[in-house]
Amino acid sequence: MQEIRCGNCHKKLGVGTFQQLNMKCPRCKTMNNLRATSTPPACPSASNLKDAQECQITKSTDHR
């Protein structure tokens, strides 16, 4: 779980888990586009978790 806060006024909007979230702050009306930083970027071609994991393995072994 992580805190979701407004990027402008830092009002706490909620807690939870998310990968991407668009939330409008009720106080300052700022549109927050949030992305979980702890989650590695998913492979664009991966359609499920297994593909995404294999994609990341491929990426890491291909690192130069």
Output the 3-class SS for 3-54.
EEECCCCCCEEEEECCCEEEEECCCCCCEEEEECCCCCCCCCCCCCHHHHHH
Q: How far is the CB of 30 from Zn ion (least distance, A)?
A: 5
Q: How far is the CB of 34 from Zn ion (least distance, A)?
A: 12
Please pick, from the candidates 4, 25, 42, 52, the single residue that binds Zn ion as defined by CB under 5 A: 25
Please pick, from the candidates 2, 9, 19, 33, the single residue that binds Zn ion as defined by CB under 5 A: 9
Nearer to Zn ion (CB atom), residue 28 or residue 36? 28
